[in-house]
Chain A
Amino acid sequence: QKEVEQNSGPLSVPEGAIASLNCTYSDRGSQSFFWYRQYSGKSPELIMFIYSNGDKEDGRFTAQLNKASQYVSLLIRDSQPSDSATYLCAVNTGNQFYFGTGTSLTVIP
């Protein structure tokens, strides 16, 4: 079983809509959860992290964590074409960081 699972997509949303990205993880001992954005051929860039149950908002982005369900999500409000990228969910478990395979998002103008 993979440590971190994401739907690969592609996910397409119209400009201005809300994009919803989901991630599940297998280890209940995981402590910190991250969302990264990666443009093709570039390195991942941190969007935000969360480590407490509930919601965390940063600008147009909201991360949601539900440890009981082992579920992390990212909402992108007012999606822009520049948000088109692959979004990686990452989990810190012990001394290691595990990444999902990413969800490809396309925002259609």
Chain B
Amino acid sequence: EAQVTQNPRYLITVTGKKLTVTCSQNMNHEYMSWYRQDPGLGLRQIYYSMNVEVTDKGDVPEGYKVSRKEKRNFPLILESPSPNQTSLYFCASSPRAGIGNTIYFGEGSWLTVV
């Protein structure tokens, strides 16, 4: 089954404790990205990757890191989480950016930072 898988789905952590949210896709997509979704603000892009070893900042990259060492994986790293990073996070992938390419989402990760 074609899918984007992210883990953990639910996490409560404390301020400053490094965490990683993993994301993996099995569709051989070149493009992957991370979003956070907050009430009233919608989906905002954190980082995206056009292909292996190519990553770029989205609209809200502060406090996050990513890497793309393999095509299928795109982990999101919070080096020192803060309460304002409490949010619903989605990983997504697309065959590539550009006309006609749709974006597919993982199931989401609920992150609470206390």
Residues of A bordering B, CB below 8 Å: 31-32, 34, 41-46, 49, 51, 88, 90, 92, 94-102
Inter-chain CB contacts under 8 Å: number: 63
Expressed in whole angstroms, the Cα–Cα distance for A103 and B107 within the complex equals: 20
B102→A100 contact, CB < 8 A: no
Q: Which residues of B contact A (CB under 8 A)?
A: 31, 33, 35, 40-45, 48, 50, 56, 58, 88, 90, 92, 94, 97-108
Residues of B within 8 Å of A99, CB to CB, are 35, 42-44
Residues in A neighbouring B31, C-beta threshold 8 A:
95
B98 in contact with A97 (CB, 8 Å): no
B90 touches A43 (CB 8 A): yes
Enumerate chain A residues within 8 angstroms of B99, measured Cβ to Cβ.
31-32, 51, 92
- Could you say which of A92, A96, A102 contacts B101, with CB atoms under 8 Å apart? A92
| B100 close to A101 (CB less than 8 A) | no
Q: A95-B56, A96-B97 are in contact. Are A44 and B45 (CB under 8 A)?
A: no
